[in-house]
Structure 1
Amino acid sequence: MSTPVATPVQTAPPPAPAGDPRTPLGRRITQLPSWVGATIGVALILLIWWIASITLFQSSRAIPTPFSVAARFFDGAQWVSLWTNLQVTLGSAAWGFLWGNLAAFLFASLVLLLPRLEQIVTQLAIVTYCIPLVAIGPVLVIVAGLDNPQVPSITLAALSVFFTSVVGTLLGFRAASATSLDVVRAYGGGRWTMLRKVQLIAALPSVFGALRIAAPAAFLGAILAEYLGSGGENKLGKLLRSAQAVGDVPTLWFLALISGAVAGLAYFLVGLVARFVTPWTAGKAGS
């Protein structure tokens, strides 16, 4: 007499959540264009912003409604004043970005040529990073005086980028292939030849990564110096301080949004340049 064989009980798998790609709804969600999610996110932020402005901050008016801030974007006189002040700030930020990165690249190159200087350069970079810009800004304003109105803005912009660029350049130099360096040595090349032929090219992706962070940092450093009282009349920092003095909260938010947009644009532009200079980092074939 044969013994009956027990068959295993088939259990239904648990239902997948709505956002799971295995469900029809999940597939539809994952197949949506990226701009849809971005639009929904912006709409939620605006909704929360509007609710907070009319409930929690209605009496203090510390947070204006999105409509009052949006009205500034359609005010022609506001844009004229903004451009008059913004172009001076952009000039100071550009000079600070240039000098700060040139100094960073020079010191990093010295470390490659003279390795004994590494600790000194590293400590110098750390000191510039640890110095509070809010504390050193007023000192620079007093030292520069009214005769050199752009010196504090350029100096703070340069200090804002020095540490990031030094670290990024040093890391890039160390990313050079040891085999390529051995080939240069085998053909009688010295440290200067290795720097030009191998290490500089190997460092480009890391250098541009540092520059992408340094670009908005230089712009915000220049604004900080102007806000702390650097000389001159037409400056974005002075415009921010004037709006704060009269309690024009919507204009303050308008200027803050514009400043954030300019900083983001600087980050994007440096990244765009990096894609053309170092196409191999984006998976493209470089010549």
Structure 2
Amino acid sequence: MAAPTVTPGSAAEEGGRFPAVRGAPPWVGGIVGVIMIIGVWWIASLTLYQGSGAIPTPPSVVARFFDAGQWSATLSNAGGTVGSAALGYLWGNLAAIVLAVIVLLVPPLEALAHQIAVVSYCIPLVAIGPVVVIVAGRDAPSGASVVLAAMSCFFTTAVGCLLGLRAAPRTSIDLIKAYGGGAWTSLRKVQLISALPSLFAALKIAAPAAFLGAILAEYLGSGGDSTLGRAVIAAQSQSDAPQLWYLALVSGIVSGLGFVVVGLIAKLVTPWTAGTDVPAGAT
């Protein structure tokens, strides 16, 4: 029997064209991507936008992070925005989960629930934001921020929760019914547990969305004076490009932290979703 022919480079192809990069930890790729983005940013600031200054150089923006007075003001502003976003995140996700459970227990309401979810997703927040700000008024300065934050995460969580509830093993549900259990028992014993991975995946996406909705409401006039949205307005009125970019980076960091925190909670609550390798010979 003829031996298999090994062409030059086939071993390299089996191990990947760049075996050193392929075997590196995942965070190495993230660092390389960040360095490339900063490089493009720096080149653009020194060439295309050197005259206008619309894109500041990275050092001018990074310098804001080492300004003690700037940090004090940023933490004060971020506290109000994060508080409104967290409250909207709580109410929006709670409403989405309740809606998904109602649809599961009362199937005839599914069409109505889908319409509510789609309408909440299709309404432009920029268009409805000023209306909510006026309705909230001065009596509830952060009311619009909470509402827009809730609307930003409602659709994602509702869809994720409903898909997770419907992904429950049919055999487990039939077993509960065979022992005399009803829909509520199936929901508590099987479907809620099966829905946790999909639910947490939606909750991770909803965290940055809620923060974005809160900032948008503040930019439209909600939340009072000590918020990130008002800080953006002040920097924009003064044409302070480094400050605007600094606030954008701060907002991105806060959103990313929200995503990471929910992800860590998901790993603690649903450890079975992180697959583990079975040692050789264990079976």
Calculate the TM-score normalised by the size of structure 2. Answer: 0.91
Change (3 A) 1:64 1:26: same
Selected match of 1:100 from 79, 92, 110: 92
Aligned partners of 2:207 and 2:255 also within 8 Å = yes
Q: 1:216 & 1:42 partners in 2: Cα distance?
A: 20
> Does residue 134 of structure 1 match 2:126?
yes
> Does residue 191 of structure 1 match 2:183?
yes
> Does residue 78 of structure 1 match 2:52?
no
Q: 2:209 & 2:80 partners in 1: Cα distance?
A: 16
| Deviation for aligned residue 1:121 | 0.3
> Does residue 281 of structure 1 match 2:273?
yes
**Alignment of structure 1 residues 1-287 onto 2, 5 Å:** 13=7, 26-283=18-275
Q: Pick which of 231-240 and 85-94 moved more.
A: 231-240
Q: 1:31 & 1:284 partners in 2: Cα distance?
A: 18
- Give the AA of the match of 1:83: L
Q: 1:114 & 1:30 partners in 2: Cα distance?
A: 49
Change (3 A) 1:225 1:181: same
Aligned partners of 2:144 and 2:222 also within 8 Å = yes
Unpaired stretches in structure 2, ≥5 consecutive residues: 278-283
- Give the AA of the match of 1:66: P
| Deviation for aligned residue 1:42 | 2.4
Aligned partners of 2:121 and 2:155 also within 8 Å = yes
Which of 1 and 2 has greater Rg? 1
Q: Pick which of 109-118 and 227-236 moved more.
A: 227-236
In the alignment, what sits opposite 1:8?
none
Q: 1:153-189: CA deviations, max 9, x gaps?
A: 0000000011011101110110111111111111111
Q: Pick which of 225-234 and 266-275 moved more.
A: 225-234
Q: 2:6 & 2:146 partners in 1: Cα distance?
A: 68
Change (3 A) 1:249 1:190: same
Change (3 A) 1:244 1:116: same
Q: 1:232 & 1:48 partners in 2: Cα distance?
A: 36
Q: 2:276 & 2:21 partners in 1: Cα distance?
A: 31
| Deviation for aligned residue 1:233 | 0.9
Instruction: Tell me the matched-pair count.
Output: 273
Q: Pick which of 139-148 and 126-135 moved more.
A: 139-148
